[in-house]
Structure 1
């Protein structure tokens, strides 16, 4: 059994599922089931265009963190909205994909996703091996149309050099 990571003070008021904080941008079904691993389109748009943290929903400060897959590095952008440093540290300990507890993406839609279309990038990843993740420290980003996923917004560090990029160590 995996231990539940300590929850930062700024996240104590967030809902939880299975002992983990539900990120602000995580959609829920009408019955209240949280759709972990799915980004809500409106929440993603708000996070990216208003510089909000995807986990706590608060405005980002002078420095923020993007989590990028190896394939995102080629494009210098990611569809994952940025996080404030405390939420990024928590997510590094709590997210099964980031900590390496999942070796593959889901093979299909979970029952809770019935009727909610998967994004193009999610369709491509179904049952695929999990990619390595990278931590991209940024001072700012541009919002662009993702080059390999037309119609999908992305946080880009192409024009604004990142402060640092490093591979995320997994468990």
Structure 2
């Protein structure tokens, strides 16, 4: 599992990153040049006086100090010998608004797995609003630990009167 966070410095040179992963001391910082090309800027813990960036890691925050305002990407991967990386995700469930479809026989529920950020949820809400969907319940937060396997969603307990379409109760992402 790769943990990825993208952020942009706007008008400050010191930035605190409060995101959904636990940081590791072995991460490498890179500078993006265009869409697919990146340049390694610093390996954490190997900064020198000539390094264009300084980083500080706390348990769940990364601080960057840089001379230039630019876009950075932090990518982490679990070390096989150490603790597995953990990412905080949220599940958001949307469906067509019941008041617009009172006699609907086929009711589709859409489950989204998102980063646990306001921006991620807002993006899905905007898209669902265009589709006529509404949030069925408050999004649920969950910890996803890197175990080398995909995230698997399975519908196992359904209230009386409801049923799943064949092969629709199991999905792998």
TM-score range, shorter chain: under 0.3
Normalising by structure 2, we get a TM-score of: 0.26
Higher-helix-fraction structure: 1
Larger Rg: 2
